């Protein structure tokens, strides 16, 4: 069984990805290390609702959220879990020749149901041909102990990662984002997950309006302190039919430039511990949903520009991690 946590040797003076010529710990390297071959995520929409939409926490959702922009399965009629995975496996297998997949429960709040229901949905995904693990995305304030126990139980026989929408450590930004939780909820969720030996990933947003570069680097420091296993970095971007889109239309929103974002990502990576796997360097959305900034829609170019800036500065992930 592949372990869910990363496999860097803490006594190794230079991480293997640096000796292999990389400047950050890329997801593809990690998957090859753990699974021995390229492995791809298949997004699974299990139809979970969200407490920030159904009135339990809030009704309007997060300021940036349009669920349809996250998942093709919310834009088209929803098939069952097995159907979604079979469809994704056929598409990825055809495009990349790969036979190994992770079921990525991404849209909605994927721990927002009784634990018996969670178990049934996760196990349905794990039973699909080629599926070698599970990623469960959820809110930090919506992960009860019994759900963590279930994930820990599954992690005894397969690869499991819990992905938390931490977004930022700054409460004023969480409030602006209409998240409905504070950073202390994230610390609590990470702590309880780690007590059970679970690998934790963090979804984070850089470029929030009231955050300075120093604020964003403080978020990186906190991810290092919490020993988060992986991060997904997103620039703040605007998709249609969201409160953020209305802010943008009213001229109330200042987004960072591409150059500012690249600078923040490089600074962020420098503060992130070298064992932390980087799943993403920026966000994007389907063209029909993305309003601004258009530069994040050209993700290959953006990633190349971030890597070029790491090179130009001759710097790397973890350089200033404490």
Helix (H) or strand (E) holding 248: helix 243-249
Q: Please identify, using beta-carbon distances, which residue of 85 and 244 lies nearer to ligand SF4.
A: 244
Instruction: Name the nearest CA neighbour of 233 among 198, 194, 193, 261.
Output: 261
Judged by beta carbon, residue 29 or residue 182, the one nearer ligand SF4 is 182
Residue 232 binds to ligand SF4 (criterion: CB under 6 A) = no
Report, in Å, the least distance between residue 16 CB and ligand SF4: 34
Q: Which is nearer to ligand SF4, 61 or 207 (CB)?
A: 61
Q: Which is nearer to ligand SF4, 165 or 293 (CB)?
A: 165
For 284-309, b where at least 16 C-beta lie within 10 A, e where not — what string? bbeeebbbbbebbbeeeebeebbbeb
> In terms of CB distance, is 62 or 132 closer to ligand SF4?
62
Greatest pairwise CA separation for the chain in angstroms: 53
Subset of residues 27 to 66 that bind ligand SF4, contact rule: CB under 6 A: 50, 52-53, 61-62, 65
Q: How far is the CB of 101 from ligand SF4 (least distance, A)?
A: 23
Among 23, 121, 139, 234, binds ligand SF4 (CB under 6 A): 139
**Please, what is the minimum distance in Å from the beta carbon of residue 50 to ligand SF4?**
3
Helix, strand or coil, per DSSP, at residue 101? strand
Tell me which of 109, 173, 219, 224 binds ligand SF4, using CB under 6 A.
Answer: 109
Our CA dihedral for 167, 171, 172, 177, rounded to 10 degrees, sits at: 40
- Tell me the CA distances in angstroms from 182 to 107, 166, 206, 219, 274, one per residue in order: 21, 9, 17, 14, 27
x/- mask, ligand SF4, residues 64-93, rule CB under 6 A, reads -x-x--------------------------
Using CB under 6 A, which residues numbered 150 to 209 contact ligand SF4?
Answer: 165
Closest by CA position to 283, among listed 230, 207, 229, 222? 207
d(CA 297, CA 47): 26
Long-range contacts of 310-313 (CB under 8 A, 24+ apart): 310/23, 310/24, 310/266, 310/269, 311/23, 313/266
Interface with ligand SF4 (CB under 6 A), residue total: 11
Does 244 help bind ligand SF4 (rule: CB under 6 A)? no
The nearer residue to ligand SF4, 18 or 75, going by C-beta atoms, is 75
Residues found near ligand SF4 in the complex (CB under 6 A): 50, 52-53, 61-62, 65, 67, 108-109, 139, 165
């Amino acid at each position: 069984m592949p372990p869910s946590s990363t496999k860097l040797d803490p006594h190794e003076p230079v991480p293997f990805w640096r000796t292999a010529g990389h400047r950050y710990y890329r997801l593809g390297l990690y998957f090859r290390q753990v699974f021995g071959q390229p492995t791809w995520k298949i997004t699974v929409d299990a139809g979970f609702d969200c407490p920030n939409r159904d009135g339990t926490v809030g009704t309007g959702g997060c300021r940036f959220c349009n669920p349809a922009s996250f998942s093709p399965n919310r834009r088209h009629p929803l098939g069952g879990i097995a159907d979604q995975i079979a469809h994704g496996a056929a598409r990825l297998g055809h495009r990349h020749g790969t036979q190994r997949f992770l079921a990525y429960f991404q849209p909605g709040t994927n721990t927002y149901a009784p634990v018996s229901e969670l178990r049934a949905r996760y196990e349905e995904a794990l039973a699909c041909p080629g599926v070698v693990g599970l990623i469960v995305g959820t809110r930090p304030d919506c992960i009860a102990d019994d759900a963590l126990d279930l994930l820990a139980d599954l992690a005894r026989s397969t690869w499991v990662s819990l992905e938390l929408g931490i977004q930022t450590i700054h409460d004023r930004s969480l409030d602006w984002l209409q998240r409905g939780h504070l950073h202390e909820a994230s610390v609590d969720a990470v702590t309880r997950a780690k007590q059970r030996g679970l690998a934790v990933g963090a979804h984070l947003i850089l470029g929030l309006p009231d955050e300075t570069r120093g604020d964003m680097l403080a978020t990186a420091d906190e991810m290092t302190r919490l020993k988060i296993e992986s991060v997904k970095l997103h620039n703040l971007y605007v998709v249609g039919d969201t409160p953020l889109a209305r802010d943008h239309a009213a001229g109330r929103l200042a987004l960072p430039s591409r150059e500012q974002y690249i600078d923040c990502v490089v600074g962020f990576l420098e503060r992130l511990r070298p064992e932390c796997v980087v799943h993403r360097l920026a966000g994007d959305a389907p063209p029909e949903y993305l309003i601004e900034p258009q530069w994040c829609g050209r993700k290959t170019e953006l990633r190349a520009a971030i890597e070029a800036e790491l090179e130009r500065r001759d710097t790397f992930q973890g350089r200033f991690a404490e």
